Amino acid sequence: MLSDGTLRFICLATLLLQPIKLLPDTILIDEPELGLHPYAITILADIFKQVAEKKQLIVSTQSVELVNELTPNDIIVVDQEDDASVFKRFTEEELSGWLEEYSMGELWKKNVLGGRP
């Protein structure tokens, strides 16, 4: 009798908290935030950071809460231009003025980063 969000978190934690040598070199996760409590998203982001030190982790998200837990170096924004995907990564320096007043999620919502429909 567990919620969908609880089951999702258990599955993600089981995958990501295995010994590093048992994990594949690249892990792709689509919208891990679905059904999760905002605090669980914070914990999950910490797990992502830990795993990403040793393995390539590619996560797609539409979660402002998850983006708020990351730094510019952690994020690649994808936009569609002329029927092609364009990938952008911002540096701390490029966003330094913005980050004094706004979080990464707020910059995304304000379309400073792009990646919006």
* Tens digits of residue pLDDT in 65-81: 999 999 999 999 999 99
Residues 83, 56 share a domain: no
The pLDDT of residue 117: 75
Q: What is the mean pLDDT of the chain?
A: 94
Residues 89, 48 share a domain: no
Residues 75, 61 share a domain: no
Residues 76, 59 share a domain: no
Global pTM?
A: 0.87
The pLDDT > 70 percentage for the chain reads 100
The whole domain housing 105 covers 71-117
The pLDDT of residue 100: 93
Cβ-count burial of 26 within 10 angstroms (0-12 exposed, 13-18 middle, 19+ buried)? exposed
The length of the chain is: 117
Residues 44, 23 share a domain: yes
